[in-house]
């Protein structure tokens, strides 16, 4: 049932994102040009924020259904939404994740045409059209909102449901399958072909952290740190190191 709720939450998030964008576009007087705006390399802030709020509503809805319908109605108990001081270890995990992703792409970069431009495209799409207060809003969404809602969905609902599903396979095989599948789905959900490898690997790292700790605090901190480095690099310099934000 939790897998069903995860699927409903993901699909519902896509639908709500489209609805929220259409409503905001109508308010902005841009409804007639919405298709063209969606194709921009650097869409406006209102488009990005509306999309994120729609997706996050679906992600939160998946957790709400999972714990409310097939749980104890406690996010902390059912999804592991707890924090401890030890979760600050997630900071070096996030930094290490960015370094690992950068190293992974060194042998790939020379074989991909316009690698730097293509690899940094998602980050530019996210932040390129924002300045001043708008950039601050995007930064908060990236560093605070994305880690919370994505970890709640992927490591809270999806990982735990897969761990239960494969629980009878074996002591190590079952958890490994759950962790790897969750990481792969995390990467695929971002719909970025070139960044898929890095996102999937970091998704697996986050899944290992969440599974081993039994809560989401450390994975959220690691995720937030990873994204913070991407936001910082977008301001300082167009480095590949910060372009793989798992937003």
Quick check: helix, strand or coil at residue 84?
A: coil
Q: How far is CA 80 from CA 46, 55, 58, 159, 205, in A?
A: 32, 21, 19, 11, 17
pLDDT at 55: 97
CA distances from 96 to 31, 56, 188, 240 (A): 42, 26, 22, 14
Domain span at residue 209 reads 2-242
pLDDT at 146 (0 to 100): 95
How many CB atoms within 10 Å of residue 164? Answer: 13
Other CB atoms within 10 A of residue 106 CB: 9
Q: What is the pTM of this model?
A: 0.91
Domain count, the chain: 1
Least Cα distance to 195 among 65, 102, 78 occurs for 102
Inside any domain, residue 120: yes
Examine residue 175 and state whether it is found in any structural domain, yes or no: yes
Task: Using CB atoms within 10 Å of the CB of residue 216, give its burial: 0 to 12 exposed, 13 to 18 middle, 19+ buried.
Answer: buried
Rounded to a whole number of angstroms, the CA Rg of the chain reads 18
- The answer to whether residue 63 is domain-embedded is yes
Residue 247 forms part of a structural domain: no
Tokens of 235: 């301001």
Q: How many CB atoms are closer than 10 A to CB 38?
A: 13
Average pLDDT per 10 consecutive residues for the chain, totaling 247 residues: 96 96 93 88 91 96 95 93 96 95 89 81 75 87 95 97 88 93 95 90 97 96 94 62 48
Contact 222, 246 (CB under 8 A): no
| Residue 53, CA distances (Å) to 17, 74, 186 in order | 7, 23, 18
């Amino acid at each position: 049932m939790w897998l069903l709720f995860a699927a409903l939450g993901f699909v519902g998030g896509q639908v709500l994102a489209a609805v929220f964008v259409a409503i905001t576009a109508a308010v902005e007087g841009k409804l007639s040009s919405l298709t063209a705006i969606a194709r921009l390399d650097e869409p406006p802030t209102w488009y990005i924020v509306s999309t994120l709020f729609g997706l996050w509503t679906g992600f939160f809805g998946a957790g709400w259904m999972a714990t409310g319908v097939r749980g104890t109605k406690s996010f902390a108990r059912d999804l592991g939404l707890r924090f401890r001081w030890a979760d600050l270890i997630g900071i070096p995990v996030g930094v290490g994740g960015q370094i690992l992703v950068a190293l992974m792409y060194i042998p790939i970069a020379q074989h991909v045409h316009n690698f730097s431009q293509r690899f940094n495209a998602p980050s530019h799409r996210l932040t390129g059209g924002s300045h001043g207060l708008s950039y601050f809003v995007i930064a908060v969404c990236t560093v605070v909102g994305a880690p919370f809602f994505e970890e709640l969905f992927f490591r809270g609902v999806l990982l735990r449901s897969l761990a239960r599903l494969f629980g009878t396979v074996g002591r190590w095989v079952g958890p490994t399958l759950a962790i790897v599948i969750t990481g792969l789905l995390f990467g695929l959900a971002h719909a970025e072909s070139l960044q898929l490898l890095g996102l999937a690997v970091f998704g697996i790292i986050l899944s290992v952290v969440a599974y081993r700790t039994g809560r989401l605090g450390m994975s959220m901190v690691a995720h937030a740190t990873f994204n913070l480095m991407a936001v910082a690099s977008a301001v300082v310099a167009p480095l590949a190191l910060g372009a793989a934000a798992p937003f």
